[in-house]
Structure formats: C-alpha cells, structure tokens
Structure 1
Amino acid sequence: MKFSKIGFAVVAMLSVSSIAANATTLRLGHNTNPNGPTGQYFEMFKQAVEEKSNGDLRIRIFPNSQLGTQREMLEQVSNGLLDMTKVDSSMLENIEPMYKALNYPYVFESNDKMYEVLSGEIGENLLKSTKDRGFFGLGYIMMTPRGYYSPKPINSPEDLKGLKLRVQESNTMIRLVESIGAIPTPTPYGELFSALQQGMVDGAEGAGPTLYTARHGEIAKYFYEDNHVQMANVITISNRAWDKLSEEEQKIINEAAKDAMNFSYTTGWDMEMELQQKAVDQMGVTIVQPTDEQRAQMVEAIQPMYDDLAKNEPEVSEFIKRIKVAQQ
C-alpha cells in the first residue's frame, strides 16, 4: 500500500502526538523575567530534563507570575495543584524556621563558602525539611549579595534611617531593616516598580541585578551594596508530583537541579554581575561600597537579632553556628 506525501505527514503528526501524549509534563511557575538569569536557569533545567529523559519527561514553564504571586504558587505546590516553583529562602522561613539561616545577615563569609555549605549535607537536609508540608526542595539557585537601593542618595548607614524600604514577606528581613533604622514595607515583587514610581516606598532591600532586569534602576539611582545577606532561591516540587515519577525520572530531576545550581554559581553569577553593571552604564545607577567602619557599624546594629534568636529560637541559632563552623 502506498502513502501520499499528505499521508506520511499525517502519520508523522500522529506519531509525534502519541509521544507527546505519553510524556509526563511538569508545570513550573516562577515570578521572574524569562530572559533574566533566573529565567535562564529554568530554561537550562527544562532542557536538561527533557534531554536526559529523551522527551519522556517535560517541563512547561510559566514565568512572570502568570500563575500567581510567589506565595500563591508555593501554596499551589504545597497542595499539589502546581508541580514546581521557585521560592525565596526569605519566604520559606515562614514555613520552616531553619531557612532563617539563609536570611540572617553575615552568616556566610563569601559566595564560595555558601556554595560549599549548601551543596553538602547541611544543604541537603535543609531541602528535605519541608516534606511534611507537601513539598520539598530539589536544589538552590545562588543569588548575588544584596544591598539597599533608592532614588535618594545612600552614602552611609545614616542615610537609610527613616526610609520606607520594600522587603520580602519575611520576619527576618523586617527585623533586619528595623535594626538599621529604616521602615520595612512588605510588598510583592511584581508591584515594586509601581511602588517606587508612585513613592509608596522610598527604596528596597534587594540584589543589584534587579535594578536592570526589573527596570528599578530607572527610578532608584543609588545602590548601597553592603552585602548583608547572600540569599538563595530554592527549586521546589510538590510531594504529589514527585511520587508520580519513576525512580529514573526522579534521578533525572535531581541531576538537572544540581546542574542548575552549578550554573548559577558559575556562569549565572557572571551574568548577574554583568546585569548589575548595565544598570550603571545604561541607567546611571551609582553603586556605593560601605567602608570598613560603616560595615562594622551595621554588623553592630543587627547584633540584637542574634541575641534574640539564641534566646527565643535556640535550634535555629545552633543551626547557624553549625553553618559558621562548616566554613572554617
């Protein structure tokens, strides 16, 4: 029996449709620009998963908060309504207090030390700590150190006092900003540009690259880069989605998550710093590095946070001490 060209095309389409129908698809939502470094981490994760599984396992990505805010997407993952999402460690501390270790100021000596700790046993145990909440972490996306940016000049810790600064929905970040004399103003990330534009906030606690990727540098022209925190985003997956995967598919997902973490630590870091430099070159942002004296002043200002932590949450305090010992 002979087939026409149209017949061959139909057979080919049916074959592709059959493969697609048999493939397992995981939906991954995140709240950032798909063209930025974080968006590219997930594209790399997607490609790695699909290549390693020969197309039997697929990732469908929904960027730019298409599926809701970060909090809403995490709730969906926890309930098994969404398969995967990216969560800031600052939000995770509201669910698992041990994540405060990634948000407390001056915990890690450097980005290298943070990578060593998080890629080892301490980091693995932390990722698994939320399994009884319906989800757990697969890996970390290393982020650049943070500072404070504003339309108003910031040349010293004194310039931060009294400013309404956007912070993430984290008790630790709220306490941190209060400690330096500013006014913490929790605001969803997607609303920050308009909040800056309309003067609802005077500035933000955040990472330098967002000045360019989120266009915050169009308004906030001053970035005080004190490197108080080196946060990490966490790639999370729902227990329900994980349990549906075969052992081989779970292995592929784990390997791809580790690849994404390594990418963020190496190539991703360089990309982030290039974006921060673009904020300087193309938007006219001024970056100010604190002096040793100013840094010591800020370290002293946040010491009561550590004192209260040791008193009220001794397990978290001991966990942070364990992290600091691991860096020696």
Structure 2
Amino acid sequence: MTVFSRSILTGAWMATLGALVATAAAAQEYQVLFSHGFKPDSPHHAAALQMVDEVAEASGGRVEIKVFHSGQAGTARENFEALQLGSLHITTSPTARIAGFVPELQVFDLPFLFPSYDKMVEVLDGPVGQEMLGLLEAQNVLGVAFYIDGLKSMTANKPLRTLADFEGFKMRTMESPIIMEQYRALGANPVPLDFLEVYNALQMGTVDGQENPINLIHDMKFYEVQDYLTLTDHAMLGGLLMYSLDWYNALPEDLQKIMHEAGVTYVQRQRTGVQEIVARDLETIADSGTTIVELTAQEREAFRQATLPVHEIYTEKYGDEMLNRIYEAAK
C-alpha cells in the first residue's frame, strides 16, 4: 500500500477526506484528488489551481478538484501507484520517476536527444509522443499529455567544463537507469535521491551536484548551496499529466470531455508559465552570487560524444524503432 493510500485512511487525511465526502453529498457529484510534487509558487501549481476553477465552471459545479502540492501526498512513484489503485485521480510525474512501470519512456531522458526546445515540443505533441502516452494504459493509467520544464543544466561547487571535472564527482540523479548511465559515461558517480531531499544533500555534501532546468533550480533554491551553474542543455526534463484510468472511464462522457480538455489546457499553461520565468529565474540565480558558466561548442560536443553510448544501452533493451523515429522527427 502506498503512502497516499495509507495516509488518506488515517489522521489529518481522514478529516480531509471526510470533509470532501460531506461536501460532495451536499453539492458536487464528483470529488477529484490531484497530487503533485511542485511548490505552491510554481507554474505547475498555478496551472492546477486554474484547472480547478475551469473544471468547476465547465461542469456546472458537478466536479470539484482538490489539489495537494509539494509532495504532501507522497512521492511520484507512490502517487502513480495510487492512480493504479484509484485512491488518487490525477498526478504529474517526470518520465524518469515512473521508468519502473513504463521503461520505454526512458527514451525521453536520453542525453542530447533534441537539438532545440521547439523540436522537443514537436516530438512530444506528435505521433511519437501520443504513442508513448498510450503505453500507460497497460498500467491502468491514462496519459493525458506531456508537461515540460525545459532542458537541464548542472550545478556544482566548481565549473563542469570537461570530462576530468566529473572524476569522483557525486551527481544526484533521479532513480532512472538511463540517467545514471549518462553520468557514469561522463565519469561521475550517480546518486539517486528523491527530489525533495536534494537541497539538504547538497548542503551536507552527500552529493556534489545535481541536474535540473533553470526554473526548478530556482524554485528549489539549489543555487543557495552551489557556487556554479553550468548551462549544458544536455537533456530534457519533462513528465506526464496522468489520470486514474478506472476513474476516468467511470465518468459520464460529457465529464470525460471536460477533464481531457482541462488536462491539455493545464499542460499548455504550465509550459507557457515556465517559459515566461526562465530569464527572470536565471537573473535571480546570478544575482545571488552563483557563477553562470556557458560551455563552448567544443566542450558541449565532448559531453555529447561521451554520452552517445547511453543511446545504445537504450536500444539494446528496447530496440531502435522508437529512437530512430525521434531522430527523424527531431531533425
């Protein structure tokens, strides 16, 4: 049983759920629980709150969504399991965090896969992305759309310009075999840690650095405990907006349409929100005293060449059809 499914039966969760049920009996036909791991001032949470209002209006008050942020209801893996059980209705997760359930999704975590942000969006919203979303149905989960945090950079207490800089370096990663292999290819030691544990691990020296897009480095204040931010744009960080399939299928057809449209709107709003704040967030990080490091084309190419074998690791396990389709679409 997951943390979410345990916690909604005890303590504060029992009180919360009781209030939700009472409210449902009085007014709403459907109470919907939405859990995510982002901070309350993030574009993700802002988009979730707008989704609450829009669904309530579109459904004529028949649907009420309750949002829990900052991992209040458990980790990404626990929330995914709760979707499968039906004790949670909506969640988001990075592709890497649910690789144990749908390993093929790791293709989107491969280093240097997309030449630009626009090509990344084109692939995720195109036939390849839709096909990958469909793989979730075997897990009793509906993949609605991909949210995007952008291309990742690295922080450390030194610049990360050459392969020599990674020797003996403890890099925090998500629990993703593909991402861990990427850092082994660079010469580092990958250390998988939950996202909410990273700040303390950096502060205490349990790990030497981490990777994330600019907005998450800013939101989690990793720059407070790291002296350098190296702009690598080496891989995508994105994830999925997902619904419990049993719950979604049990909705009336009109509410299914409302929920699907609201999910697509959520993702578009999240993407726009992130794009709007990246420049501001980077300025805040620089103003804090963190040194911003920009790689030369030659330095970045050395990283790309060193990590190309990770693509081969993926194809050895899952074949090359999907990867070749992404190569073609991303040209």
What's the TM-score, normalizing by structure 1? 0.89
- Counting only pairs closer than 5 Å after superposition, residues 159-170 of structure 1 correspond to structure 2 as 159-170=165-176
What's 1:48 paired with? 54
How many Å apart are 1:272 and its aligned residue?
Answer: 3.5
Query: Could you report, residue by residue, the CA deviation over 1:104-143 in whole angstroms, capped at 9, with x for unpaired residues?
Result: 1122221111112222222222112111212121111111
Taking every aligned residue pair, what percent have the same amino acid on both sides?
26
Match of 2:328 in 1: 325
Shift of 1:160: 2.6
Quick one: which amino acid aligns to residue 268 of structure 2? N
SS of residue in 2 equivalent to 1:185? strand
Among residues 119, 122, 128, which one is paired with 1:122 in the alignment? 128
Match of 1:68 among 53, 63, 74: 74
Aligned residues: 310
- Call closer, same or farther: CA 1:44–1:298 in 2, change over 3 Å: same
Range moving further from structure 2, 176-185 or 45-54: 45-54
Partner of 1:299: 304
Give the TM-score, by structure 2 length: 0.88
Contact 2:86 2:244 in 1 (8 A): yes
Find the counterpart in structure 1 of residue 142 from structure 2: 136
3-state SS of paired residue (2:129) = helix
Q: Does 1:235 align with 2:238?
A: no
Partner amino acid, structure 1, of 2:206? M
Q: State the distance in 2 between where 1:285 and 1:114 align.
A: 28
Distance 1:18 1:224, change over 3 A: closer
Equivalent position amino acid for 2:60 in 1? N
Which sits farther off after the overlay, 155-164 or 236-245? 155-164
Is this contact kept in 1: 2:213–2:237, CA < 8 A?
A: no
2:147 aligned partner, one-letter code: I
DSSP 3-state at the match of 1:237 = strand
Matches of 1:246 and 1:79 in 2, distance apart?
A: 20
Q: Which 10-residue stretch deviates more, 107-116 or 269-278?
A: 269-278
Root mean square deviation of aligned Cα: 1.9
Q: How does 1:128-277 map to 2 (within 5 A)?
A: 128-277=134-283
- Would you say the 8 A contact 1:144–1:272 is kept in 2? no
Counterpart of 2:322, as a letter, is: F
Where does the alignment leave 5 or more consecutive residues of structure 1 unmatched?
1-15
Instruction: Name the structure 2 match of 1:7.
Output: none
Cα offsets for 1:295-315 (capped at 9, x unmatched): 11111111211223333321x
Instruction: Give the Cα–Cα distance (whole angstroms) in 2 for the partners of residues 305 and 24 of structure 1.
Output: 45
